[in-house]
Structure 1
Amino acid sequence: MATGPESTLDGIPRQGEVPEPALPVAAVARRLGVAPATLRTWDRRYGLGPRDHMTGCHRRYSPDDIARLELMQRALVRGASPAEAAEYALKAHGNVREAPPRPVGVPGSTVLAKGLGRAVLAMDAATVQRLLADAIATDGVITCWDHVVRPVFAAVAGRWAHSGESIEVEHLLHECVLAAMITATPLLGPTHNTRPVLLSCAPEERHSLPLYVLRAALARREVGTQMLGAALPATALGAAVRRIGPAAVVLWAQLPRYGDPSVFDAVLANAEIPTFGCGPGWAAVLPGHVERLDALGDAVDRLEAVAIGV
């Protein structure tokens, strides 16, 4: 009986001799956890498609093709841009000693944060939106923001600060998070508060995304708000306060250059309105009638109590 590498046992081919089947796009997408459109984009932009694909035929991925895609995913998770990850996957397949691109890890250890980081670095908007919706449905908007979204923003911002790259990734993440928070904000009928909580950025401050998180969380507790958004001039903000007569005023400052405490006196002629400074940009000392709210979770509890008079 032959004993060489091609021998069989009782006429049955050895397991290693049976080739793995090629898989269609949908099956590979499920295996990798990405949208089928993402695979087509990777093929078109970076050449990470089926090596044996013929024009006019359906794409079917061989085990080698899938291995390259898995290498690309691994590099994306470690913080590479899509172009860097694709280059690494094409070069490194079959050469395990080649180092992956410079990593920029996503802070935090939650599975959702890692999945979101992988999806946003792959510019996979559909998967980003699905992961955000799952996180909000499971844990609520505040937990999603603190433990899923913020770690990914920090990683992307760190990469941009280090190399000037990935600003397009940050923009994609911002737009997806904004859409998710608007979707998570219910349309309210009667609310617990007769007068709304006014939400606005400080004058010239354009980082309004946390206010949308705050609005969604308050709406889910049936607390009505009035959103004025980013970069409203102080004169317009003061006029809005006089016209609305809010239950409370919340001003957000992300950057220190916009966190000038004098804006509170310029805007709020009526110091009897409860006033809050939110965000990391405010100066250490705020006017006596202004209360600092550092964490969005604490802000929701405090604003709900003020708005409904608890």
Structure 2
Amino acid sequence: MSGRFQDKVAIVTGSSNGIGRAIAILFAKEGAKVTIHGRVEKDLQETANQIVSAGILSENVVVVKGDLREDSVQKELLQKTLDTFGKLDILINNAGGVGPDMCGRKGFDMNMEDYDYLFDLNLRAVVTLTNICMPHLIKSKGEIIMNSSISALPLATTTLVYYAMTKSALDQYTRALAIQVIRDGVRVNSVNPGVVLTKIFEKQGGNAEKIATALAMDPLIVPAGYYATPQDIAEVVAFLADRKVSHYIVGHCLVVDGGNTLMNKNLNSEIIGLGNSTTNGAV
């Protein structure tokens, strides 16, 4: 299948559902060979099935299951990709979370185990995976896209404090890394979503569609009046990864939030932090 990523090879972490799944399917439809990753076997297989159902050859999809916080899983991601496809052109650091599944804790009530979990998943795993992939991305003059959040912006997200800290750090890493490697031919950018309908709400014990709809319908939260879908974010990621159309964008954190962060910052900081039921996005 031809497309803008024809003959490209991409790794998409956290692609067993949500935004990552949408990215993997879109890139495959656009001609890329993709390595998908996730923790839940049935969800990961569903992503693979949807890619094949879209008319993609099964040999153009590599599946890696495991916890991205483990160095062995990161090494398997890269090695399987190289063994199967022979190179790496695009790294999508999508995997992340707002806390351990169903932990029931939020804000400053989260403990240090929660803190370590978030920093290991949302930040350390990104850095270590990027480090081992970098020589191959330099060789291919490739692209790196981070999936961050509007929680990274200078707003006091009190009920998502550790999550927001990891995403703020990720944005700084994006900017610094972009400067470091652009002369080597590698572009680094980030997408920073707002309210997106994904399973992240359900993993915190809420009803995803009900929460996302309530957030989006409030003009003080999302001026656009509707929530984003994973496909909406995937399209932006594809734009950032397509050097033909975005080649002069380097080290940018692109906010995609329906106008959320245009609101009064003091008010907005409280809206973003209303609790587990309103986790401000889906990254």
Q: Which interval holds the TM-score relative to the shorter structure?
A: 0.3 to 0.5
**Rg (Cα) greater in structure:** 1
**TM-score of the two chains, using structure 2 as the length reference:** 0.34
Identify the structure with bigger relative contact order (alpha carbons < 8 Å, sequence gap 6+).
2
Q: TM-score, normalised by structure 1?
A: 0.31
